[in-house]
Amino acid sequence: MVTVEFASSLRRHVECAPQSVAPGTLRQVLEAALTAAPELRPYVFDDQHAVRKHVAVFINKTMALDRKALTQTVQAGDRVLVIQALTGG
Amino acid sequence: MQTLLVASRKGLFVWRGNGTQWAIAGHHFPGDPVTQAMTDPRTGHWYAALRLGHFGAKLRKSTDQGATWTDIGTPVFPPKPTSGPLADDPVPWNVELVWSLVPGGIDEPGVLWAGCMPAGLFKSEDGGQTWALNTPLWEDPRRLLWMGGGNDYPGMHSVLVDPRDARCIRVAISCGGVWQTTDGGASWALSARGMTANYVPGEVEDDPNMQDPHRMVQCAANPDVLWVQHHCGMYRTTDGGRLWTAIAPPAPSDFGFAVACDPQNPLRAWFAPARSDTYRYPVDGRMVVTRTDDGGQSFQVLGNGLPAQDAYHLVYRHSLVLAPDGHTLALSSTTGGLWISPDAGEHWHCVTRDLPPVAALSWLRAI
């Protein structure tokens, strides 16, 4: 299984506990995790279903650079972390 | 007791008071940018538009005057086509900002309209739970010629529902002129004839689709009278927007962003002038409001109680608003100032200079 966690900056708006989901593409993994908190979905994805430009997704210690296709494979035992990219003032 | 909603860079403030006595009665969404606030006179419901820096535009709704808020639907563009004339649209099909939020007609319970950046117009028929893009305007090929002005993309900041007929809606876009529909949004016509954009080549400076109306307001009692603060001056129409007449530039400036008008008197309006156009602060550092009582033929300069020198406040589009009583004005700035005039601008009371940058003001309107 894959563990998906959302940073506190996201959970400030919509609570979502760490999720354990089946391996698959990064999109499949994220979509599966967000079924636990559908209201969180528009915080992670934009209108075109890409990861928002100020949101970063890590697979283990590597940041996913592709925001649109999300075809990268996530394997059993991997940990996916969704955070806010640090911007603003 | 009057209630004023202040949408700021660091949350939504609720001010209550009268005359010179005002106090903060609530601070909602602290730390989050709020770009618009609206109270629906048909229901008493409050709405706030947030622009979360990381997580996009969001809408919140309160049915109990701010005691509790719920996350409701936010306008979302449909999937961008991968073929056809819109496949190469350089504008991203992502709502970045809800810039205008208004109730539909009195006979349309549940209808709300939202003007956004990029400049899509969205309609809700269920009090904001769900939204749909108005595709006739969005898919008009002339939309591709709109420009972003001072922003990355064109934005729709003014949406006016005609009080005589809710199927008649006028919208203003920076920069995309004024458009109107008489069939509830099924078809649209440009409605900016008479305006001039002196920042484009002379051959096209009168093109209605090139205009940059900064803000447009409508006289409720005489809805054929509308006012525009334009990037290149001030305009008024008396025929519902078929023809706009330029107002002779008054002192100290005909540049600015905000305009407010009297809901009963079609001859009266207020503007917040600024030094044009790369400076964008009060002329000579003296903050004033100008008011016309004769349809723009002449203006009074009203500064009693406003900073008289060394003031560098800018008043955004939605930050000069008239209360339902018809004579209480509120004025706020990007530098965190808030002033209220009880007498149509003759005298101003400084409520505070310590707010975050203010994007919009909204008076509570009675049910």
Q: What is the DSSP string of B70-129?
A: EEE----PPPPPSSSTTTT-SS-SS--EEEEEEE--TTSTT-EEEEEESS-EEEESSTTS
Q: B339 vs A84, which has greater pLDDT?
A: B339
| pLDDT at residue B156 tops 90 | yes
CATH number of the domain that A17 lies in? 3.10.20.30
The distance of B7 to chain A (nearest Cα, Å) reads 17
Answer whether residue B366 shows pLDDT above 80: no
Per CB distance under 8 Å, which residues of A are interface residues toward B? 9-10, 13-14, 39, 42-44, 46-49, 52, 54-55, 84-85, 87-88
Q: If you average pLDDT over residues B55-81, what whole number do you get? A: 97
Minimal Cα–Cα distance from B95 to chain A, Å?
7
Is the Cβ–Cβ distance between A9 and A83 less than 8 Å? yes
Q: Which residue of B has its CA nearest to A53?
A: B54
Residue B215: CB partners within 8 Å, gap ≥ 6?
A: B157, B158, B172, B228, B229, B257, B258, B259, B317, B318
A42–B74: do the CB atoms touch at under 8 Å? yes
**Average pLDDT of the residues in B32-37:** 97
Q: B60 and chain A: CB distance < 8 Å anywhere?
A: no
Two tokens at A76? 């059993």
- Confidence at B365, pLDDT banded by 50, 70, 90: confident
Contact: B95, A14; criterion CB under 8 Å: no
Going by C-alpha positions, the residue among B140, B156, B160 that lies closest to residue B148 is: B156
Residues found in chain B: 367
- pLDDT per position as a tens digit, B114-151: 999 999 999 999 999 999 999 999 999 999 999 988 88
Please check whether residue A89 lies inside any domain of the structure: no
* Closest residue, chain B, to A44 (C-alpha): B55
Q: Is residue A66 part of a domain?
A: yes
Chain A residues closer than 8 Å to B76 by CB: 42, 47
Asked whether residue A14 is domain-assigned, the answer is yes
Cis status of the peptide bond prior to B219, with omega within 30 of 0 = no
Q: Tell me the pLDDT of chain A (89 aa) as tens digits.
A: 999 999 999 999 999 999 999 999 999 999 999 999 999 999 999 999 999 999 999 999 999 999 999 999 999 999 999 998 865 54
Establish if A10 belongs to a structural domain.
yes
Task: Name the residue facing A52 among B54, B76, B77 (closest C-beta).
Answer: B54
Average pLDDT, chain B: 96
Distance between CA atoms of A43 and B50, rounded to whole angstroms?
12
Contact call for residues B234 and B259 (beta carbons, < 8 A) = yes
Of B71, B76, B94, which has the smallest distance from its Cβ to A39's Cβ?
B71
Residue B307 CA to residue B272 CA, distance in Å, equals 13
Range of the domain at A79: 2-84
ipTM score of complex: 0.89
For testing contact with chain A, the best of B54, B71, B96, B117 (most A CBs within 10 A): B54
**Is A19 inside any structural domain?**
yes
CB-based contact A55 B95, cutoff 8 Å? no
Residues of A in contact with B54 (CB under 8 A): 9, 52, 54-55, 84-85, 87-88
Q: Measure CB to CB from residue B80 to each of A43, A48, A84 and give the nearest one.
A: A48
What pLDDT is stored for residue A85 in this prediction?
83
**Among A43, A47, A48, beta carbon nearest to B55:** A43
How many structural domains does chain A have?
Answer: 1
Residue with tokens 């003031």: B311
The shortest CB-CB distance from A46 to any of B56, B71, B78 is to B56
Q: Token pair for residue A62?
A: 């590597």
B-chain residues within 8 Å CB-CB of A67? none
Per-residue confidence at B367, pLDDT binned at 50, 70, 90? low
Using CA coordinates, name the residue in chain B closest to A42. B55
pLDDT of B201 higher than 80:
yes
Residue A87 has a pLDDT of 54
Q: How far is A15 from chain B (nearest CA, A)?
A: 13
> What is the percentage of chain B residues whose pLDDT exceeds 90?
96
Closest by CA to B345, choosing from B290, B299, B296, is: B290
A79's tokens: 């940990």
